[in-house]
Amino acid sequence: MFKLPAWSERGMVVAEHPLAALAGRDVLKRGGNFADAVVAVSAVLSVVTPHLCGLGGDFFGLFWLSKEKRSISLNGSGCAPKGLNASDLRRRFRGTLPPYSPLTVTVPGIVDALWQLHSRFGRLPWKELWIPAMEIAREGFPVSLKLASAIAANAKRLAKDEGAQKFFFRNGKPLGVGQNLRQIPLSQTIEQIAEGGRNAFYESDLTKSMVKCLQKKGNPVTVEDFAAQTSLWGEPISWRDGNLTILEIPPNSLGIATLQSLALLRTFPVERLEMTELASLVGLVARVVAKERDYYLADPNFVPFPPETLLNPDRIAMLKRQLTTNSPPVRPPSLPVDTTYFAVVDAEGNAASSIQSVFHNFGSGIMDPETGVLFHNRGSNFVLKSGHPNELVGGKRPRHTLSAVMVLEGKNVKGLLGTSGGDYRPNLQSWMIIHWLYLGKSLQEAIETPRVLWQGENRLLVERGAGDVEVLEQIGWQVQPLGYPPNIGTGVAHGVERAGESWCGCADIRGEGVALPI
């Protein structure tokens, strides 16, 4: 193992930035619970990883309530402005919106989601949980290697936006590793959220400023659109295999695709397959599940049939028959997408499997200079095809790539897992879960195991050690071999595993995250 896992009997926080993990750990050490820690971690991540997430993005979570022995899900995705519809855009655009168009900005859902979570389960005062994020935004923090690389890679796009250019550049040059990134307007916005709660973001002068910024760019969003935002509580979707139950977030989350992938993979003797055979099989499964995704995944009010029907044996058998057919006409992402996942377990055994994002690196690239809020571009996942379940309609949530995993063994939590990766998330999560739950690896080992990533049609990215490239090419795959760890994205995963009487926190070598015990 390259990263040593962290161990604790009392709880755990794993996050993609040390400052965020520290904020969550401090909350738990002060007597806060999982909900308090989620707010603190999420808020700090929104400051220190602006290329991955922010107050202008969305949030999803799975939560385990230890005393009640039950799980719940929270969908914090935002809706398209009421004044935006595909029928008005089909003549201007083909198929989908341009990925960085101002029209792709949907109402951010993260602040409402955190408010609902804390209102229902929080223990410490809401205001206290935002103090670390507020102070870091005001005083600044050193730019990390990953953030510096993201700023450099997106410099041309960011330089075109008044707000983004103001914060991510110094003397006309992109901020580099170790330079201090201060975000005074964002710290003031966070202070107002800390004081005024959810309404400070969705029904205030902050709202008017954000709406003005977006309208100036051509987005028809209104203050009424912001005020109408509300997150959705629900029951997780699940797939059972013996004594194991894999939980995921229901649509519009991509979670159902992870469960379909696992159900398909378990129709094969995965325990007896060699690494190259498993790599090819995972690629075939990812290809078929992607076609399913494009067909049905949408706002929960528009999904054509109940999600559980997608996991019934007849459906899985039908999909299995497609594994040997030609590649289906799916549209894999062509741009870097980024997200950040984090996991929390508190002293009572309550747990949170949480994920948040601005979708592509720096989202839309539009930042309101008055509030410091950088907006996501989640609406680029809508389609413009008339009658499609995921057709762009005002007030509707887009098909979403975010999802998070919780694994139960019997009636107890065995582990939490999540990764960045956009539409590739089902491929990545099923790969790690197979190695963890069926090939005898610890969760840390499964996270660090070299990965294979389906890239559309017959293309695979293969990290060194994930399979024999020559054999994969002989059986028809076009392989792009990668080093290990790779210098391009194959996802950054984190997780927590129950082992004996302790929790084991696991961070990915491919990222900058840490696991901190309580």
Tell me how far CA of residue 355 lies from CA of 153, 278, 340, 430, 475, in angstroms: 23, 27, 6, 17, 36
Distance between CA atoms of residues 483 and 451, nearest Å: 11
Per the annotation, the verdict on 339 as an active-site residue is yes
- Cis preceding-peptide flag for 485 (omega within 30 of 0): yes
Residue 231 in tokens: 């997150």
Asked if 57 and 110 count as a contact pair (C-beta separation under 8 A), the reply is yes
CA dihedral 193→195→200→204, nearest 10 degrees, is: -130
Burial (0-12, 13-18, 19+ Cβ within 10 Å), 397: buried
From the list 96, 104, 258, 339, the catalytic residue is: 339
Distance between CA atoms of residues 211 and 219, nearest Å: 9
- Which residues lie across from 231 on neighbouring strands? none
Which of 481, 373, 379 has its CA nearest to residue 102? 379
Run of H or E residues at 506: strand 502-507
Helix 275-296 / helix 425-433 crossing angle, nearest 10 deg: 140
Q: What is the DSSP letter of 271?
A: G
Query: Could you tell me which residues come within 8 angstroms of residue 260 by beta carbon, excluding any fewer than 6 positions away?
Result: 289, 292, 310, 311, 316, 319, 426
Q: Which residues are identified as catalytic?
A: 339
